[in-house]
Amino acid sequence: MSAPLFPLFADLRQRAVLVVGGGAVAERKVEALLHAGALPRVGAPALTARLDDWARQGRIAHVEGGFTPAWLEGVWLVVAATDDARVNHAVAAAAESRRLLANVVDDAELSSFHVPAVIERGALQVAISSGGGAPMVARHLRRQLETWLDDSWGALVDLFARQRQRIRARFPQLGQRRRFFEDALAGPLPQLLRRRQTERAAQWLDEALASPVAAACPGFVTLVGAGPGDPGLLTLNALRAMNEADVILHDRLVSNDVLRLARRDAARIEVGKSASGHSVRQEQIHALMLEHARAGLRVVRLKGGDPFVFGRGGEELEFLRAHGVGYAVVPGITAALACGAYAGIPLTHRDHAQSVRLVTAHCKDSLDTLDWAALAQERQTLAVYMGVAGLDGFRARMLAAGRAPGTPFALVENGSRAVQRVVTGTLDDLPAAALRHRVQSPALLILGEVAALADTLHWFGDAPLRGDAAPSSPALKDAAPTLAHAA
């Protein structure tokens, strides 16, 4: 094993750097050098149009002709970017004899320095090197990290850089300083910056530096939408929040595949309401959020779908606000969108539906309060949440309000999950079809002309089951048809 490279970040501002070669590769190198404020000197018989522009603007110096060691006079670094191996060799040898570091593009052996793959967020730079052995791997890793490092990192570095002197004066000892940084980073700063509240973040840091005792790091609650079940439907912000959480309060509806992606050390508390009832009352959920936030922890309240769509997210925020606890919301893909997509049902369609309504109808009371005349209008799609137990009442009221008995429906059970099932049919037959196929919670009802498209446009899992056909599994046929009273 040879010794590893020594990583360094060079200050090349106003320093001459020789680039040998005038093609596309040289152009990329020159661009990076200009970005770093260097003074590129480009030696080549001819230049690309862009290099030529830069030369005419005086941003680079063009040395015309073939390479001679005299080109190295007065430069700090050398880059050989020609497609002629002999020239590249000559450049590397000339640099070596003058003790200049040289990079030969695509030749790790000849290079005495390598250019890493870089991610930039303001003043923050993350450089990745494979030691010249496998630059593609470094680039691949960079792409993956790119998605993780949002802009707030740049703002964070900026903020601390501006207070650098003050932080040093306030915490002269390294140990103290380190603790201060750790507390500040574990506290509200990153969150504030991600929410684009730069002023408040600066204020927090100001106060933390002014107060004689280290500023308290208040707990924080993030309401996170976990989507319908397929972990691929989580947002990056949701993943980040789950990775930073100390405590995760999750609903029963949140899939195990999603929970597996959460930080391992995070405590998980299931507060989900089970279908039949309320396993943990809403007030208890409030109390749990408050207790953990007041203990200074980062709490993630993880909900199926989107927190603001039939998820009681509004009530939870009102409660947190009333108790002075900071919060943020990460939206999730709600069941209607996911079930539509995964069943091949476009919720709107120029030929069939101009609007879509998200409706909930989980008990008789909620059925009674709905505006049935409005719901029964044609050319609209209804996405009915929690409707499995009340399908009889739903059908009767829809028909009474004038929706045609032949209106197509689709029941999407476990949408986006491996066990997804879709049952299609017409309104008249809706409760019977659900019973026949023993549709269970969680299931979403999609009613409207678009629902029929599932029969042709489906792409995920099995083809839709026809509501009026007998279930194919003998085990199910024999089982007593009981409609799940689950929601």
Judged by beta carbon, residue 219 or residue 387, the one nearer ligand SAH is 387
Judged by beta carbon, residue 380 or residue 441, the one nearer ligand SAH is 441
Nearest position to ligand SAH, beta carbon: 305
Farthest CA pair distance, the chain = 93
Judged by beta carbon, residue 56 or residue 281, the one nearer ligand SAH is 281
Residue 17 CB, shortest distance to ligand SAH, in Å, is 55
Judged by beta carbon, residue 25 or residue 302, the one nearer ligand SAH is 302
What is the full DSSP assignment across 97-165?
HTT-EEEETT-TTT-SS-PPEEEEETTEEEEE--TTS-HHHHHHHHHHHHHHS-THHHHHHHHHHHTHH
Judged by beta carbon, residue 78 or residue 433, the one nearer ligand SAH is 433
* 320/326 Cα distance (integer angstroms): 7
Which DSSP helix (H) or strand (E) runs through 181?
A: helix 174-186
Beta-carbon contacts of residue 148 (< 8 Å; ≥ 6 apart)? 236, 240
Give the interface with ligand SAH as residue ranges (CB under 6 A): 228-229, 253, 303-306, 309-311, 334-335, 339, 385-386, 412, 414-416, 441-444, 487
> 359-372: b or e for each residue (b if 16 or more CB lie within 10 Å)?
bebbeeeebeebeb
Residue whose token pair is 């695509």: 106
Residue 272 CB, shortest distance to ligand SAH, in Å, is 10
In one-letter notation, the amino acid at residue 208 is: A
Q: Residues 269, 320: contact at Cβ < 8 Å? A: no
- Distance, CA of 363 to chain centre: 35
Q: Residues 53, 42: contact at Cβ < 8 Å? A: no
Residue 363 CB, shortest distance to ligand SAH, in Å, is 12
Judged by beta carbon, residue 363 or residue 374, the one nearer ligand SAH is 363
Tokens of residue 117, six digits: 């793959």
Residue 388 CB, shortest distance to ligand SAH, in Å, is 7
Q: Residues 111, 104: contact at Cβ < 8 Å? A: yes
Residue 332 CB, shortest distance to ligand SAH, in Å, is 7
Which residues are tagged catalytic?
251, 273
Q: Residues 118, 142: contact at Cβ < 8 Å? A: yes
Q: What share of the chain is helix, strand, coil (3-state, %, to 5)?
A: 40, 20, 40
* 406/429 Cα distance (integer angstroms): 9
Residue 395 CB, shortest distance to ligand SAH, in Å, is 16
Judged by beta carbon, residue 2 or residue 369, the one nearer ligand SAH is 369
Judged by beta carbon, residue 47 or residue 411, the one nearer ligand SAH is 411
Q: Residues 79, 105: contact at Cβ < 8 Å? A: yes
Residue 373 CB, shortest distance to ligand SAH, in Å, is 23
Residue 229 CB, shortest distance to ligand SAH, in Å, is 5
Judged by beta carbon, residue 247 or residue 444, the one nearer ligand SAH is 444
Nearest to 305 by CA among 235, 403, 378, 215: 235
